[in-house]
Amino acid sequence: MVPVRKLVKIADLSRDWWNAMYSRCCDIIARPEIYSNSCSGKILASMFYEPSTRTNFSFQAAAQRLGAGVFGFSDPVGTSASKGETLADTIRMTAAYSSTIVIRSPQEGSATASALYSEVPVINAGDGGHSHPTQTLTDLTTIAQKRGDIGNIRIGLCGDLKHGRTVHSLVEAMEMFPNISFYLISPQELKFPDYVLERMKKQGQTFEETEILADVIPELDVLYMTRIQRERFRDAGEYRRLKDVYVLTKKMLESAKTDMQIMHPLPRVDEISTDVDTDPRAVYFEQARYGMLIRMALLLDFMHLPRIAPAAVYDDPNAAPGECTNPACITQSDTYLPKLVSRSGSDRCGYCDKKTTTMLL
């Protein structure tokens, strides 16, 4: 298998690579002591432009458990970004000091942009409402550990599906596994973006959209709850109206399967009642630990790869005329970036996957 040098979108993840990482993760779980110095002398650069607890801590813990060092920031205010330094220059500088870069940013497509300018592997730790591939590794690991298999299951995705980068990535990853049925549970205002639904249809994925959790909970093997994300709303009033639309309680679980897994990427706010925490079906805190373990497996892949000077960057010749108008896209602030095409089509931005405008020629 040709070494992979980035994980910025789920499209970077192949079934073979997943199988290899998961096998290594299982060995880490079984024999953690033999990995304690496997990345000695390596350094992880942790660049968090947006608040994080689990993802930030789990990457740091993963690196340290492998014997690697860590440097970075959890607030860009104290960095040269506050002085106007471009992302490309920050990445070039950070890559000079590190073995692997992990980046989280509120700007969609920031990790894709970072990989264009880095001599070392780049990992996307979440880019706005777009993608979160290492959370997906966490989710796949949790399902595999708890069920023994990932295929042949019914999954309910509940809550903020519009801004929920974790569920965007999870749905795409599930294309690798057989016989997956989705129940997409959200109000109309928070349903999946069109590009996600279009991809699901194109891939022949089975899904049903509904607004009522109670109607489908008896059918589910996995219930994946998500937070209504206040930070993604431009209208505070709309957030207040929608924030408590789904609250999972112990009472609601009476109609659920006895072996259903309740997952959540965390942090939790009000969408899962604390009385659910003691239910054996609640696996979201175990899920957080699996996140550290699978990230150890990922870092073992990346930390030992050689430094490679990035290729010169140019506009994709397949790009349609026009510009990305997504206000959250990295191209809105870093206008020097080349035009890239999404695998979803030439009329979609290669950074954020949103449709581009068409310019009249």
Q: How far is CA 316 from CA 236, 337, 349, in A?
A: 38, 11, 11
Contact 224, 167 (CB under 8 A): yes
Tell me if residue 104 is catalytic: yes
Catalytic: which of 5, 9, 104, 295?
A: 104
Tell me if residue 55 is catalytic: yes
Can you list the alpha helix ranges (DSSP code H) found in the chain? 15-30, 54-65, 87-97, 110-115, 133-147, 165-173, 194-202, 213-216, 236-242, 284-302
SS3 7: strand
The verdict on whether omega for the bond into residue 267 sits within 30 degrees of 0, i.e. cis, is: yes
Tell me if residue 163 is catalytic: no
Catalytic: which of 6, 9, 65, 132?
A: 132
Can you list the alpha helix ranges (DSSP code H) found in 105-154? 110-115, 133-147
Contact 129, 165 (CB under 8 A): yes
* Beta pairing class for 261-263 and 180-185: unpaired
Catalytic: which of 5, 6, 42, 55?
A: 55
Tell me if residue 264 is catalytic: no
Tell me if residue 132 is catalytic: yes
Catalytic: which of 31, 83, 234, 258?
A: 83
| Active-site residue list | 54-55, 83, 104, 132
